[in-house]
Structure 1
Amino acid sequence: MSEKAVEAQPGAGVELSREEIFAAHLGGKLSVETRLPLLSKRDLSIAYTPGVAEVSRAIAEEPGLVDSYTWTKRLVVVVSDGTAVLGLGDVGPRASLPVMEGKSALFKTFGGLDSIPLVLDTTDVDEIIETLVRLRPSFGAVNLEDISAPRCFELEARLIEALDCPVMHDDQHGTAVVVLAALLNAAQVVQREIAGLKVVISGVGAAGVAVAKILLAAGVQDLVLVDSRGIIHHGREDLTAVKTDLAGQSNPQGLTGGLAEALRGADVFVGVSSAQVPEAEIALMSDDAIVFALSNPTPEIHPEIAAKHCRVVATGRSDFPNQINNVLAFPGIFKGALDAAALRITEPMKLAAA
């Protein structure tokens, strides 16, 4: 394997060799460790047979004891079908597994929660739901990950109804929470109230829809959404049901056209698509503009270029300043939900997290 240094993105300050990257992932990033010593026959008799039978009998008689005497209550399954992985797209379940392992490692490190990746070799919503319903006794919460839109909306909504435990599609709501948190802070930097900001969101997939909804709930009044075909507005006949609903809640000025028309005079740009944004279009924004170029691994515009025209610039990457990434939110959201024995992660919980 070549040792040639590769940059995560042109212009980035961090260089990583392929050898270093693959060596770190060799054998996977996860392992299971026992919390009990197994150093003697007595240890074995307590941890396994015959002692464990006493615990199984007790749970059979009183099922609620499973929360106290197994790891279920603190176990999050990270579920993906590999159809929308990072900025790579549909790479399939096997290729998505390194990302899901990483997600589980983040749950443990930043939330103190045990987590296992569960990649499914199906894209059928009914089959995914049936699989998780049947596996429900084994886990305490579900983190949906890297599932393409629009299936992800239906899948999450139906799973919330089907399971009696917290379910959250992190690409939607984890992203939304950290974007709102970042915007609240950026607004303080530019000494503005978010209700008075004109916000443009580029990308109306899973993340874009959730970001739009949480910003509207938080009080943003002038919101414009742009997908690959242009500005979302009532006159378009190619809108999905989700986009049609958002058309009724956004674009109060009735703008049409593309991203350039949306960005003219805008205060905030939120990029949650892989589409690159020319410098000339960012230059159309207002004074003291805010740019969140969150596509990974390649931001919609390089932060050094955006900084020439904007007051606050952030990306989704850890090697640039002002990282806006789900890792800042999802471990705590799930930890809070499980600590509170919540059956659902609600909209007020997401706003409170932000």
Structure 2
Amino acid sequence: MTTEKDILDAHSIMHGKIEIIPKVKIESNQDLSIHYTPGVATVCNAIKDNRDLAYEYTNKGNMIAVISDGTRILGLGNIGPEAGLPVMEGKSLLFKRYGGVDAIPMCIGTTDEEEIIKFAKQISPTLGGINIEDIESPKSFRIVDRLSEELDIPVLHDDQQGTAMVILAGLINSLKLAGKDLNKVKIVVNGAGSAGMGVVRLLALAKVKNVYVVDTHGIIYDGRNEGMNEFKEEIARLTNPEKDKGSLADAAKGADVLIGLSKPNVFTADIVNGMNEKPIIFALANPMPEIDYDEAKKLGAFVVATGRSDKPNQVNNLLGFPGIMRGLLDSRAKKVTYSMLYDAAVALADSVGDKLSTEYILPSVGNPNESVGVFENVAFAVAETAVKESNSRITDLDAIKSTIRKNLERNRGLHEKLSKN
């Protein structure tokens, strides 16, 4: 069993999880003259005349920043930027390991919304994209929406958009197994934070009307005053068409799908028993879910998913963000759109293939080298939608797909070499 000492030792031995290494060799004065002075001035002048050439002559097109202010780190809360750095290093590691994306952790010393936006805008010339991570909501929503409007590079909010995409993929496959139509089922989301907001926006894009969101004050409805903000007001407009009121138990009566993005042990036996036939339960609070997997199955749940790796049907946002960002970067997309995320969810759901069952609704991450096809499928879907929406700087989809494939294959080769060493 891994102990806390084992974990601390593993982080201490290499002083963190990532480093920057060169792509080219410097072994002679000629190498220096090409890659630094005086030769680099030629590259500078070319980019000065055409800024888009930064994508050709620098690493801009494969470089992102993972930005956090440390206010919403995992389940630990507001622990500050230094304490959040191990998480951002870990996220950067996963971007590289699974998607071949060079990600720099940026844990910054301000919690002021305007200062965070200003910082992201100031460093954007270096980057092909930005990932906003572990910033408290609703501040994080405002930051992402503003940056998406004001920058010409994509801004991904993985806690909101990546997680929602993976949830939708699992939901698509669960409903397929249950023989139910996404546009006809009743869906209840318990939790109105980042992931809940993302799920609502994705379902709204799919024109799913029978959706209900519950927070600590009960069912959200248009006209509610208690505990509201501009984003919960958006949720109210997009869900609960009859303006129903009440508790989680009231909302869950007759529901086909119950998605938990909240806290442990809130899905009781009475709630599960009040759902429609073949109930689908995504209990995603981590590490302790809204209801235990085995308990939910005993109560008759048709499909149960959790955020845990020791149970079937893990809903893991790792299935999403590396491929999403790979597709964004290689199409040189300007924005993240929910159409991209919807198409990526369909591609992820299709990646399960003939393995689909009530205990296998999503691909297993497993060995990164074995699951590279999953990330490729997601990246292809994102890139294809970017081109279709005229949201990309490159319009040749075949060329983009070739670049995606080469980048993933190159990344796999690099890590195979690293494993041998």
Residue 248 (structure 2) pairs with residue 225 (structure 1)? no
Report if the CA contact (8 A) 1:194-1:219 is conserved.
Answer: no
Distance 2:190 2:207 in 1: 19
Residue 75 of structure 1 and its aligned partner are, at CA, apart by 0.6
For the 8 Å contact 1:295–1:316, the answer to whether it is kept is yes
In structure 1, what residue type is equivalent to 2:133? Answer: E
What does 1:244-259 align with in structure 2 at a 5 Å threshold?
A: 244-259=233-248
In structure 1, distance between residues paired with 2:144 and 2:254: 36
Measure, in 2, the Cα distance between the counterparts of 1:91 and 1:282: 35
Aligned letter for 1:300? E
Q: Structure 1 regions of 5+ residues with no counterpart? A: 1-14
Superposition RMSD on alpha carbons, in Å?
A: 1.9
What are the superposed Cα offsets for residues 105-150 of structure 1, whole Å, 9 maximum, x if unpaired?
Answer: 1111221111111111111111111111111221110111111111
Q: 3-state SS of the aligned residue for 2:238?
A: coil
**Partner residue in 1 for 2:4:** 18
Q: Which residue of 2 aligns with 1:317?
A: 308
**Aligned pairs for 1:34-113 within 5 A:** 34-113=22-101
- Tell me if structure 1 keeps the 8 A contact 2:137–2:193: yes
Aligned mates of 2:10, 2:188 — CA distance in 1? 38
Q: Deviations over 1:275-313 (max 9, x none)?
A: 531432333322211111112232222212222221111
Moved over 4 A (4+): none
Q: 2:285 maps to which residue?
A: 295
Q: Report if aligned partners of 1:279, 1:305 keep a CA contact under 8 Å in 2.
A: no
**Which structure has the highest strand share of the two?**
1
Any idea what SS the aligned residue of 1:196 has? coil
* Cα deviation 1:49-84 (Å, max 9, x = unaligned): 343333334333443321111111111111111111
CA offsets 1:162-191 (integer angstroms, 9 cap, x no match): 211111211111111111111100001111
Structure 1 SS opposite 2:255? coil
In the aligned structure 2, how far is the partner of 1:61 from the partner of 1:225?
51
| Per-residue deviation, residues 298-338 of structure 1 (Å, max 9, x unmatched) | 22222122222211111123332211122111111121122
- Rounded to whole Å, the distance in 2 between the matches of 1:78 and 1:171 is 12
Instruction: Spell out the pairing of 1:258-337 with structure 2 (5 A cutoff).
Output: 258-280=247-269, 281-309=271-299, 310-337=301-328
* Alignment-mate amino acid for residue 310 of structure 2: D
- Give yes or no for the alignment of 1:174 onto 2:162: yes
CA distance in 1, matches of 2:282, 2:325: 25
Q: Does the aligned pair in 2 maintain the 1:255–1:261 contact within 8 Å?
A: no
200-209 vs 31-40, which moves further: 31-40
CA deviation vs aligned residue, 1:2-26 (integer Å, no higher than 9, x gap): xxxxxxxxxxxxx432122222322
**Within 2, Cα distance between the matches of 1:217 and 1:62?**
36
Deviations 1:82-120 (A, max 9, x none): 111222222221111111111111111221111111111
* Distance of 1:223 and 1:299 partners within structure 2: 21
Segment drifting more, 46-55 vs 225-234 = 46-55
Give the distance between the partners of 1:342 and 1:171, measured in 2 at CA. 20
Seen in structure 2, the aligned counterparts of structure 1 residues 40 and 203 have a Cα distance that, compared at 3 Å, is same
Q: Check if 1:199 corresponds to 2:187.
A: yes
Q: Is the Cα–Cα contact under 8 Å of residues 187 and 210 in structure 2 kept in the other structure?
A: yes
Unpaired stretches in structure 2, ≥5 consecutive residues? 346-421
Give aligned-pair identity as a percent: 45
Alignment: residue pair count = 340
Matched, 1:148 2:136: yes
Report if the CA contact (8 A) 1:87-1:274 is conserved.
no
CA distance in structure 2 between the partners assigned to 1:107 and 1:64 by the alignment:
24
Is the aligned partner of 1:116 residue 2:107? no
Instruction: Name the structure with the higher helix share.
Output: 2
Structure-to-structure mapping, 1:130-145, within 5 angstroms: 130-145=118-133
